[in-house]
Structure formats: structure tokens, C-alpha cells
Structure 1
Amino acid sequence: MCAALVLEEFTALLPGGEAPADEAPACPPAGAGAQERLHTEVWEQGYKAGWEDALRNEADEQQRISTELARSLQEMTFGYFEARAEVVASLEPLLKQMAEAVFPPLAAEAVSAALHEQLEQVLESGEDAVELVLSPAGRAAVESRLGEALPPAVRLVEEDTVADCQAYLRMPRSERLIDVGAALEAVRAAIDAFFAQHGEREVVNG
């Protein structure tokens, strides 16, 4: 018959020799909650600081881009006005030379065109003796333009004192002046005003 195996009890005894009761679950240390809150606050502060840095960097980058764009636009604008000034400056003498070269014959042609209308009105009114007083250039233009269309009642008279842009219709009891010089002078004034205004604008932009 086998003998019973007796094992030694190794359970630690409580003070006073009593055996411990069932062990309760271990409680967290008293400072664990405070440490967790501190960790959370540190993380939130770090996140906030990183977000603020990102926003500040983005704002700085936007400012840099805006500054570079403004500088580029300013350089482009300056280049445009500089090129425009050079073009206009080169056109000024050319336009004025063209005006002076074209205006005299143009004036004579304009006078002859205006005379045609005025002569019709005068002759329709019953005048039978009309002197057409012109400058030498004006007479040549009228003869070239009207030629044989001039009625016999009209007699051409050439006078050096008459400007190329003028003509007189002299009748026994009245006289009419045809002057296209005002229109030509208006064109000259417009050219001068354009370049004067352009020069003032360049001074302001410069």
C-alpha cells in the first residue's frame, strides 16, 4: 500500500501568523492620473506650437510670393512704359514731317472739294458773275479737280496773298470765304497735344 505524499505549505504568513486573504487587484499609484494629464497637456502644447509654426511659415511664404509677384509686375510695367516711350518718341518727328508734307496739297484738295458745293449754291441763287480767288496751288488743284466743269460765269483769279487752304467767292454784292485751315490746324493741335500729354505721363510714371 502506498504512503500519502505530504507537501510543505509555502504560503507566506501575515504578521501575527495569519494566512493572507484573497489578494485584491493592485491599485494604480496615486500620481498616475496627474502624470497622464501632464502628458496630455504637453502633447497639446506641442501640437499647438507646431500648428502655429506651420501657419506662420505659410503666411511668410505667401508674403514672399506676393512681394516677388509685385516686383515682377512693377518691372514688367516699367519695361512696357519704357518701350512705349521709345516708340512714341520715334513716331513724333515722323508724324510731324508727314503732316507738313501732306497738309499743303491736302488743303488745296479740300478747298476745291468745298468750292464745288459752294459754287452750286451761288449759281443756283442766280449769280451770273463770280470770281473764284485762289492761291497758285489752290488754282492748280481746282483746275485739276473741276476743270471744264466750271461754268462760264465763274472766272478764276490767282492771288499770292491767299493761303492754300483758302478761297474766295466774289460776287457783285457779296463775298464768301472758304477756309479749311481751321480743320488742318485742329489736326496739328491734336498731334501736338498727344505728344505733350504722353510726355507728361512719362514724367509721372518715371
Structure 2
Amino acid sequence: MSIAHLLEDFTLQAGGGKLHLLDEDALEEQRLAAFEQGYSAGWEDAVQAQEQSRGQVSDGLARSLEDMSFTYHEAVARMTLSLEPMFQSLVNAVLPETLDRGFAAQLAEQLIEMAREQIGQPMQIFVPKGRAAEVEALLPQELSSPTRVVEDPAMEPGQARLQVGTTQREVDCSGLLASVAGAFDAYVFEAKEAVNHE
């Protein structure tokens, strides 16, 4: 027994054949449709690949910027730490000497300003022990009232009190120096913390 009856017959039969022939226009339409379909699929693949590439570039750029930012902050922190000896020398040697040299001149300048506001009033300058002669030497001779320079043993170096009539002013160079030193110490401390938390 043959199994031919189970298989489909593809032979051409006269009159009602199963073969369908396309004319040139129909064939061209099928070609154009296949081209359009292939072109659309290729375009979609290209757009998807471009979006994926953009995403990778954006991620890479974000990582690079983050690394640069971290590197910049790390460099600033390390540079600050390398400047610590200079800061210490400024605070401990240069600034105190500069303030000490300008102490008497600053007192004379402020006294003149106060004397302009209260003409004819008695003037007194209270200075730390050992500074009276230096301050007296810098006082201008043309002051309208006599000026007394009084050494006060309770005053610390860098401190003074000016009094014209009832008006008083405190001068505290050592306090200024302490606040500058505190600011430098805080800055260096923050830089050390930044380096330790890398």
C-alpha cells in the first residue's frame, strides 16, 4: 500500500492548476513592499543601536565627570595639607610680628579719629607693660588735648584701651590673631577629614 494519498500533489493540472503566476506590476509591488519592510526593520535597528550607544556614552561621561570631581576635591585637600606648614608659620611667626610692629601706629591712628569726634576732651591710652615709650613716640604733636599713655600690667600683649572723654575703644590684636589661627586650624582639619574619608 502506498502513502501517496497522504502527500499533497504539486503537479500542474490543466484547467484548475494550483500555480499562480504574477504579472510584472504585481511582482514589482511585492519587491517594493519587501524593500520597505526591510528598510523599516533596518531603520528601527539603527535607531535602537544609536539610543543604546547614547546611553553608554552618557553613562561613561557621567562616570568620568564624577571621577574628575572626586580627583579635583582630593587634589585640593592634599594641596591644603601640603600648605599646612606655611599656614602654621604665618599664624605663629609672621602675623604676630606684623601686628606687633603696627600696634603703636594703629593706636595713634584710632586715637586721632576719636579726638576728631570729641575735640578738647582728655585722652588716655592704656597699653601693656613696656609699650608706653613706643606709643608716645608715634603720637602726633598737634593733638588738641594732652594725651597720657598709661601702662596697665593687666593687659596682654596686643591689647590696648583708648579713652577720649567718656568714649572708649578696645584694641585686641591678640584676639584677632587667635581668630585667624582658629580659622586656619578649622580649614586644615576639614582638609584632613576629606583625605581620610577617601
> Which amino acid in the other structure matches residue 32 of structure 1?
L
Q: 1:170 to 1:66 in 2, by over 3 A?
A: closer
Q: 1:64 to 1:168 in 2, by over 3 A?
A: closer
Q: How does 1:17-166 map to 2 (within 5 A)?
A: 31-32=21-22, 37-120=29-112, 121=115, 124-127=119-122, 132-136=125-129, 138-139=131-132, 141-142=134-135, 146=138, 149=141, 153-166=146-159
* Deviation, structure 1 residue 42: 2.9
* Deviation, structure 1 residue 96: 3.5
User: Is the Cα contact below 8 Å between 2:128 and 2:151 reproduced in 1?
Assistant: yes
1:191 to 184, 191, 196: 184
Partners of 1:101 and 1:94 in 2: CA distance? 10
* Deviation, structure 1 residue 178: 2.8
Give the alignment's TM-score, normalised by structure 2: 0.61
User: Is the Cα contact below 8 Å between 1:137 and 1:164 reproduced in 2?
Assistant: no
The secondary structure found in structure 1 opposite 2:125 is strand
Q: 1:131 to 1:68 in 2, by over 3 A?
A: closer
- State the partner residue of 2:9: none
* Deviation, structure 1 residue 150: 9.1
* Deviation, structure 1 residue 49: 1.4
> Which amino acid in the other structure matches residue 55 of structure 1?
V
Q: Any gaps of 5 or more consecutive residues in structure 1?
A: 1-28
User: Is the Cα contact below 8 Å between 1:167 and 1:179 reproduced in 2?
Assistant: yes
* Deviation, structure 1 residue 83: 0.8
Partner deviation per Cα, 1:52-93 (whole Å, 9 max, x = no partner)? 112222222222222222222222222211111101122234
Partner deviation per Cα, 1:144-165 (whole Å, 9 max, x = no partner)? x617859894444434431222
Give the alignment's TM-score, normalised by structure 1: 0.60
Larger Rg: 1
User: Is the Cα contact below 8 Å between 1:133 and 1:168 reproduced in 2?
Assistant: yes
User: Is the Cα contact below 8 Å between 2:81 and 2:191 reproduced in 1?
Assistant: no
Equivalences, count:
172
CA RMSD of aligned residues (A): 4.0
Partners of 1:118 and 1:86 in 2: CA distance? 42
Q: Any gaps of 5 or more consecutive residues in structure 2?
A: 1-18
Q: 1:55 to 1:76 in 2, by over 3 A?
A: same
Partners of 2:159 and 2:142 in 1: CA distance? 18
> Which amino acid in the other structure matches residue 65 of structure 2?
L
The secondary structure found in structure 2 opposite 1:133 is strand
The secondary structure found in structure 2 opposite 1:69 is helix
